[in-house]
Amino acid sequence: MADTPPGDCWHAGHSQPDGPVDLVLVAAGALVDPDGRVLITTRPPGKAMAGLWEFPGGKVHPGETPEAALIRELHEELGLDTRASCFAPIAFASHSYPDFHLLMPLFACRVWKGTPTPHEGQELAWVWPARLGDYRMPPADAPLVALLRDLL
């Protein structure tokens, strides 16, 4: 193996935990409207990182697929109806927080029934992909923002 210069992936400063870590699986959706804008929502009051902007979705329950979780969450959070065949997996985030490790598949979705309506006190915004970086988001979402900006 060749010598590895400082600053590359071998020295990026991301340490691995010494013992087992709780893995949290969350499914998220990048809902894209006919104009090419993406729907983001604020995290509801009372939840961790409340007020930060995120892609809609939520935790995957035991025995549930990420697609089923996203269908359920979009209905509960926003009153939208969709199906797994409307989802295209486009990316995932893998991020260590102090108490757990988040694994979050991100699905693009362009087809749903209903008008997004906040059911949990969150704010909604339709944002051009190039402007997603203007919104404060949880650390796990940062690489997804750059990807969506380039993809859409």
Domains of the chain, CATH where assigned: 22-151 (3.90.79.10)
CA atoms within 13 A on the CB side of 113: 3
pLDDT tens-digit profile of 101-126? Answer: 999 999 999 999 999 999 998 999 99
User: Which DSSP category does 8 fall into?
Assistant: S
Q: pTM of the entire structure?
A: 0.86
Tokens 């995957």 belong to residue: 60
Nearest to 126 by CA among 40, 53, 29: 40
Q: Read off the pLDDT of residues 123-151 as tens digits, 9 standing for 90 and up.
A: 999 999 999 999 999 999 988 999 999 98
* Residues 6 or more apart in contact with residue 15 via CB below 8 angstroms: none
For residue 10, is pLDDT > 80? Answer: no
- State how beta strands 124-127 and 38-42 pair: antiparallel
